[in-house]
Amino acid sequence: MARLSGLQRDVLSLYRQCLRAVKEKPASTRENFRDFARSEFRQHMELNKKDFGTIEYLLRRGRKQLDTYRDEGIQNVSR
């Protein structure tokens, strides 16, 4: 397997954090949170790996969203 760049590691780390955060949600809505996280990441899979500015922006946005969705008051998410 090829070595991952620092940015790639950051993206994978954020993805894992999102999936771990799903476990903190009510069992009845976990699937919604998991589907939401997956769709957000899949939406940008075709992004050029050298588009550092966009990737860093999306990482910042993703971290903010994760912090928001980790809040105990957020019980469900939908598109």
Q: What is the largest CA-CA distance in the chain?
A: 40
Contacts 24+ apart (CB under 8 A), 40-46: 40/65, 41/11, 41/15
Angle (CA) 25-30-33 rounded to 5° is 95
According to the model, what pLDDT value does residue 72 have? 87
Q: Are 10 and 59 within 8 A, CB to CB?
A: yes
**Model's pTM, two decimal places?**
0.88
pLDDT classification of 1: cutoffs 50, 70, 90: low
pLDDT classification of 42: cutoffs 50, 70, 90: very high
What is the mean predicted confidence (pLDDT) over 13-38? 94
Q: Are 11 and 55 within 8 A, CB to CB?
A: yes
